[in-house]
A and B are shown apart, each in its own frame.
Chain A
Amino acid sequence: MRASRRSFLKTSALGAGAAIAAPYMFVRTIDQAWGATSWIKKGEPIKIGLLFSLSGGLAVPEEDSTLVMQYAIDEINKAGGIAGMPVEPVIVDAKSDFNVYSEKTKELILRNKVVAIFGCYTSASRKAILPTVMAQDHLLYYPTCYEGAECTQNTICTGPLANQHSKDLIPFMVEQFGKKVFFVGSNYVWPKESNKNAKIWLEKAGGELLGEEYIPLGSSEFGPVLNKIRDAKPNFIFSTVVGASDIAFHKQFKQEGFKVDTMPIASLTTGEIETRAMGNEFGAGHFLSAPYFQALDNPTNHKFVEGFLKSKYGKNGTTHYNMEETYLSAYVFKYGLENTIKAVGIEGVTPRAIRDHSAGVRVEDAVSPEGLIWIDDQNFNTWLKPKIGQCQADGSFKIVKAAAEQVAPDPYSIYPDIGKCTADGLKAPDGKMRKSVI
């Protein structure tokens, strides 16, 4: 009885295992049998996947990402595509659900055979799909800011890392308003890691941390936190509150009688979209650190803003840093793919080859609205110039400080004892290499 049950369990476990593995083995075998190693074919459209949420709680930022990607793709196609081939987006809806993110990733890679995936906004969704992306040795363009502490051979990020984000903001605020600061953030990984970085810059600037508070994601009650801030009397507030909470935070800041000229909020997230949603009078006077602002005064940005708002994708009426970083990722992909085709020919193109040939890819002033950026040849994040903007009464941002030089991305800047991210993996201080760390 017992033996038979055990053998039944064994067989069914084997069966289940085979059922899970079968699709992958099948696809791989077919690929090998047909010698279909090339992901793109001459004269056929180049398929890329757009994996963003079009519904659910994350739809607000991610819908904009989808729209701006379509805009960038149209622009690239109008200019002759990539190596003469048009780009064709495969748009899926991740529904703000992490299970759907990972299901759709498999679908995009195995069924649609896209050559690269552009997607995700939260770190949680990125971490949900990375195992699949890595197992297939595929390529994810992650087009927004994140905390770092990750090293894979399958991602290219076009937003600022935590080590770039607050580098100028904290010293600037300490200099302008005073040494005492209060940290407020949403309670998840990105704000906590960002605050670790901010503390390092704060120490260097001689500032003093009066308190650190985290609010549950999506919470809209800031009364208790604001009471604590009132008692602590900081010179400025450093905020990593995200999403709907961020809007509630700024509104209640003013409603509770805080004055922006004596205690402004220095944020890593409150951009043009958030300001418009909360109302300009609640946003005016506060500071934001980002590589891009809609108000950047250069011909490329003017063309980008005007072109996007006039296009059929510009219905939201604004551009902001997250959209611009997404826009850049399309061009990083274009140049990376062109390099790959030049080096190994169309037949040799694989997602991994694109990533390898994207090392050092530059997006010049003439294309990049935020100005020249390039991809680090070791960790494949972006060299960029963080800028500080102050929100004006009309909701636009005035750039009060821009970094003179592009700042290097370093995903392990605060964890030197863990290692350094290189092109081949994470190199520990003792010289050991780990291929992928997420």
Chain B
Amino acid sequence: MAAGSFFGSFDPSAFINALILGISIASIWLIAALGLTIIYGTAGVINMAHGEFIMLGAYSSYMLQNYFGLPFLLCVPAAFVIVAAVGLVLERGLIRYLYKRPLDTLLATFGVSLVLMQGVRLIFGSDPKYLAVPSIFTSNFQLGFVNISAFRVIVLAITIAAVVALWALFYRTRFGVQVRAVMQDKEMAASFGINSDRVYMLTFALGAGLAGLAGSLFGVLNIVLPTMGMGYVVQAFLVVVVGGGTLIGSVVAGGATGELQSIFAYFTNDTFARFVLYVLIVVFLRVRPQGLFAPSATRR
């Protein structure tokens, strides 16, 4: 009651809608950050080209749909494969020479991001592209006073599936054990016969693929443009840094930032919501620079 009078008109059903929307915003923050979590968390590569991987995902979907007539639902996994392949090539050609110099990866991948952006502009032009989706995705559900858009549910479902799959991969497979071993101590893992070079290569490709997957979804929510990735890379880094570079950290950080953004926007407005959110993030990182769930092991 006190809160109600403090914030002026407080409408519980509208607030519940805001909370539900918060989950959806959180899933968008999180799926944008998943790939980066893996790349940064495992290999310590500060991948500035992450936004451009997202952009490539959107463009691969556009290309497959427009030139090969692939239905949208198949474009999503296809975008994963294509961008993972791009990531693989990039890792073999450039990133693997930089693992010993993590700060240089920042500059190198920033350069890569510019190359990718201008390359796409050369091939596809700078006008915005359009991704068609089945009409069922452009509708919404209404359950009582709760309104949910179908596509937001799809994004949420894919995000949950991706998180579960990643967890299973890292904690229930032999490859996951190897990855975690390399994360903790690369030399020690190598001495036990783990091919750390191969682990890095595969995790980088996996991270890039996840960004491509996110891109194919963002192309529907948003717009397909060579510059579309620039906004997401900041978001993604915030989630990863606040989370501490672990999978669980990113899930919690993405969830918290999404909900906070939605709740602040409900009480005030969108501009102010972002202002408060970023201030809170800065304050949080001042108090806990290692993030929410930092890996306890030694890093290179």
Interface residues of A (CB under 8 A from B): 55-57, 59-60, 63, 187, 213-216, 218-221, 223-225, 227-228, 230-231, 244, 247-248, 251-252, 254-257, 273, 276-279, 281-282, 315-316
Contact = CB atoms under 8 A, between A and B. Distances in A.
Closest A-B pairs by Cβ, 8 of them: A257-B140, A277-B128, A224-B265, A220-B222, A255-B149, A247-B223, A59-B126, A223-B21
B21 A227 contact: yes
A59 B152 CA distance: 30
Contacts of A60: 126-128, 225
A213 B223 contact: no
Main secondary structure of the interface of B (DSSP, over half): helix
Nearest to A258: B140
Contact of B223 (A221, A248, A315): A248
B270 A279 contact: no
A121 to B, nearest CB: 13
Interface string B119-143: 0010001111111100101111010
Contacts of B127: 60, 63, 273, 277, 316
Contact of B227 (A56, A224, A257, A279): A56
A220 B231 contact: yes
Interface of B: 11, 14, 17-18, 21, 24-25, 28, 118, 121, 125-132, 135, 137-140, 142, 147, 149-152, 218, 220-225, 227-228, 230-231, 261-262, 265-266, 269-271, 273-274
A267 to B, nearest CB: 16
Contacts of B265: 224-225
14 contacts: A55-B126, A60-B127, A213-B270, A214-B269, A221-B25, A224-B261, A225-B265, A244-B228, A251-B222, A255-B150, A273-B127, A276-B130, A277-B127, A278-B130
B185 to A, nearest CB: 40
Given A216-B274, A316-B127, 7 more contacts: A220-B223, A223-B21, A231-B11, A256-B147, A256-B149, A257-B149, A279-B130
Contact of B273 (A57, A59, A224, A248): A224
A224 B126 contact: no
Given A220-B221, A224-B262, A251-B220, A231 B14 contact: yes
Contacts of B147: 227, 230, 256-257
A318 to B, nearest CB: 9
Given A214-B269, A255-B140, A257-B139, A224 B130 contact: no
Given A244-B223, A277-B127, A218 B231 contact: yes
Residue of B14, B127, B273, B274 ringed by the most chain A CB atoms within 10 A: B127
A224 B270 CA distance: 7
Contact of B130 (A223, A248, A257, A277): A277
A56 B151 CA distance: 29
Contact of B140 (A218, A231, A251, A256): A256
B63 to A, nearest CB: 16
B58 to A, nearest CB: 12
A174 B271 CA distance: 28
Nearest to B274: A216
Contacts of B222: 220, 244, 247-248, 251
Contact of B271 (A55, A216, A223): A216
A230 B266 CA distance: 12
A378 B18 CA distance: 51
B128 to A, nearest CB: 3
Given A216-B270, A227-B18, A248-B222, A57 B129 contact: no
A351 B103 CA distance: 51
Contacts of B228: 244
Contacts of B149: 252, 255-257
Contacts of A215: 270-271
Contacts of B273: 224
